[in-house]
Structure 1
């Protein structure tokens, strides 16, 4: 019996207060029965008297004091419970003796008190309460047989009643133990569930992907802050079709049996991807994950370039030393005249040596995150000098490049960066153009946005094929046998570092690249743009 409470029992003051409240009502009914006597008083021989008024009044006072103690002084649980049960046993035993013993039926009232006490009490005390009630019932019946002429055979009824006391106490205690175990398990599971909900909510709020829960009718049930940020909305509450029509159309297509993902554009024209997943909820809600595809691509690209940069930096010295030796050896061999085939082979060696050196230089350039030293550049003068230098390097007449730049136009850019960007763009244009007069044009244009300017590099070549437009800015992508595939990528990165952009214009004949930059306050504007771009 003692093992019943060693691991699971703890004071249950709420249930104890209900028990005391029941006893308070019982004492009040007894007191009212004496104040307003009826037929039941005569049957039970409980006629009003000083003894009964004193007994019932003291019992009711004990119940009132016990109720307030249980409500406002939650200490010494076992003592308070034992006091209440003892009062019940004494008062009901006396009333049972006065009413004629066990035949009066008052002994059954103790069963309720014992059952309630056993539900909230400890194992050993439960047996003590049952033993106390049994002793009181037997003594009361025995005194009645000896001094008041009760039927001697009624002692058997008292024995059965006493056995009922023990059975009730034991069964109630077993039930109470099971209830307490289940209550404790439910409480601990409730705490664990609440903690898990809090953790899940914090995880969802901190996710870099947007999460939306959408009802079958298209109503957004719940979403995290990242979902609203990616979609460029202060709130996504309401109908999904009103906030993100493209996403709603993708969801409808998936519900009809289509693909479980869709690509679309969100805030700031960023490329987003959404995945749809069904849930096991009874409401049939749909879970939508929204991720920034552009950010993922950028991270993958940066990881690739970082790994390549570390590799190249470690072997650049080992590569350039043999290249220098090969280049020097080919120069020495060129001093000997051994025929046309010999010279052609030397040219092949020289061209490929230069290409390898250029590849190493371009890859090393990717790892150098030099901050742009921006300045105000007069475009007309800068482009004039640039065209002369490039045409001299390519052995082309001055009329090959046509400049359309009004005087006084400025751009805020790092001078060496702008030179490198244009060298790559115009060099590519000359490679694909006819190289006739005006085959490559550099045109100045202003944008609708105040403080920004554009330089258009246009050639009369075949242009970039539609299938390659999404790949030309990818690192190491090239269609030229001698190209490194890094020129356009580095050019775009340099533009971003200067607070500008490099894009390929769609439509029209020939290649058409646009370099954009600022023309107003140089220092603060570029710094802010570069920080935002990073």
Structure 2
């Protein structure tokens, strides 16, 4: 998408270029050149064909010089907007016109009246110059006309009655030029104001259009603009992704009839135009690659004031809506669970303490068995409470933890876990990241590793290499693998593997993997599951692999990385 348009610069050339005054300027310059050319050719022809009229060569030279000045102004002068900027160019333009025309008028060569040509500099000053320049030019023309009549006084008879009429005619012509200059200057000023207002409105409209386009492009909701024939004129990236066009080259428009799976959208657009009102539907689109996709679709009609109306369709994937709703429910459930866990922790501790005191006085085997059952379930409840509270505690974990040696920490945690569970014969340890420190809380890393090992022990076999813990260092990251040779998980289990309170075991809280992932994310790491080949050489087989990936190596120098290399 094109970036926002930059406002034009304040230079005279930038303001005038492409405007109406630019065209007026060039029109006046062309008119000056044409008049100068006509005068040169006309006087040259009179000098050659009618020498008795008294057209001298220096008059032809004057017209030729006027033609050169006009050509230079047409070629080299910069188009100027109206106002004071024109004052600097008045002398070589309107001033040159007044000089040339007044000289020809004073001489009255071949009895030609050149006074109508004074309209050109007056109009040019009124349109392209300031009001002062326009009125000054009109005043100069009026004075020149009066001077011309005064010069002719010696050539008139004393008893002639033409003198008053000539002064009256010159005065009326001057007044006419004054009125012409004032009216044209006011019209030009109004045109300039309207053009500037139109320019500002066009710039604002362009800016708003580009901002709207940016907003629509960034919307997560799909937007389609469809006409009455079912042709799409615009579609944002979200809509193209929902229609399966994300990998297709962008097109200016396409038809909804191009694919059979889009027929519900085409039918909904047709109903919107027929009913002349907004529609709301849940549709199912069949896509060859993605299968059946359910969508929530809203339609709106644009006004027909400026042409054919269009239908705007807003598409939303129902799976995203359901996922968002599920996330909100889980967040509310988590807050409620944390509050409940916090409230029952103290009563539960009192029950466990009372049961321990009671157990000291029990002698009958049956009562001691019941007391052991109470103790076991109280411990289970206490563990569930701690796991629920750990979800909120994990959110407060900071990223500034002191670095710890990964291989040494993994080895110590695996050794303690094997001693507590007696699973040492089934555990193999392969440490491939020597000299790497990870920024992770030691207790949190131990908890993540122990939880993954407990899950692996629950589903693994009895072979000596049924559980493998590996650390690997690559060019830009370090991975911690916990692999076991358990049976593959069902697809439904994999989809909800890291969700809170989801478990396939009746005696599990379903918070273990969720808390592990939360702890990893709080320390800048990630956790994922994959099905891959593992085991020792000669006995390799498929198994379940949980991978913890620490951050990039190339950011180590900043001091805020997930892991750092130990200096030798």
Q: TM-score range by the shorter chain?
A: 0.5 to 0.7
Relative to 1, partners in 2 of residues 1:525 and 1:195: Cα closer, same or farther, differing over 3 Å?
farther
Change (3 A) 1:53 1:456: closer
Provide the aligned length of Structure 1 versus Structure 2: 411
Q: Establish whether residue 116 from structure 1 lines up as the match of residue 130 from structure 2.
A: no
1:416 deviation in Å?
Answer: 4.5
Distance (whole Å) between structure 1 residues aligned to residue 489 and residue 508 of structure 2: 24
Q: Conserved in 1, the CA contact under 8 Å of 2:488 and 2:543?
A: no
1:232 corresponding residue in structure 2 = 244
SS at structure 1 position matched to 2:229: coil
| Residue 19 (1) aligns with residue 28 (2) | yes
* Separation of aligned partners in 2, 1:69 and 1:165: 29
* Shift of residue 326, structure 1, vs aligned partner: 4.8
Task: Provide TM-score, normalisation by structure 2.
Answer: 0.57
2:57 to 40, 45, 50: 50
- How do 1:35-434 residues align onto structure 2 when only pairs under 5 Å count? 35-37=44-46, 48-71=55-78, 77-99=86-108, 106-147=114-155, 151-233=163-245, 234-235=247-248, 237=251, 238-243=254-259, 244-245=261-262, 246-257=264-275, 259-264=279-284, 268=290, 271-280=294-303, 282-310=307-335, 312-313=337-338, 316-326=341-351, 360=385, 363=388, 416-417=454-455
| Partner Cα distance (2:35, 2:106) in 1 | 18
* Compared CA separation, residues 170 and 484, structure 1 to 2 (3 A): farther
SS in 1 for 2:55: coil
Kindly indicate whether the alpha-carbon contact (under 8 Å) linking 2:296 and 2:318 is maintained by their aligned counterparts in 1: yes
Quick one: structure 1 residues 306 and 128, their matched pair in 2 at CA, closer, same or farther if it must change by over 3 Å?
A: same
CA distance in 1, matches of 2:68, 2:323: 81
Query: Secondary structure at the residue paired with 2:90?
Result: helix
Q: How well do the aligned residues superpose, as a CA RMSD in angstroms?
A: 5.5
Counterpart among 43, 57, 70 of residue 34 in structure 1: 43
CA contact (8 A) 1:211 1:289 kept: yes
- Between the aligned partners of 2:46 and 2:128, the Cα distance in structure 1 is 35
Q: Distance in 1 between matches of 2:330 and 2:85?
A: 72
- Determine helix, strand or coil for the equivalent of 1:260: strand
User: Per the alignment, do residues 476 and 32 of structure 1 end up closer, same or farther by CA in structure 2, a change over 3 Å counting?
Assistant: same
Query: Shift in Å at residue 64 of structure 1?
Result: 1.9
Unaligned runs of 5+ in 2: 1-11, 362-370, 396-409, 411-450, 461-485, 492-497, 519-526, 535-540, 550-568
**Mean Cα deviation higher: 312-321 or 135-144:** 312-321
| Partners of 2:529 and 2:544 within 8 A in 1 | no
CA distance, structure 1, for counterparts of residue 105 and residue 194 of structure 2? 38
TM-score by length of 1: 0.60
Name the CA distance, whole Å, in 1 between partners of 2:240 and 2:546. Answer: 28
Whether contact under 8 Å (1:33, 1:41) holds in the other structure is no
Q: Please report how far the alpha carbon of residue 211 of structure 1 lies from its aligned counterpart in structure 2 after TM superposition.
A: 1.7
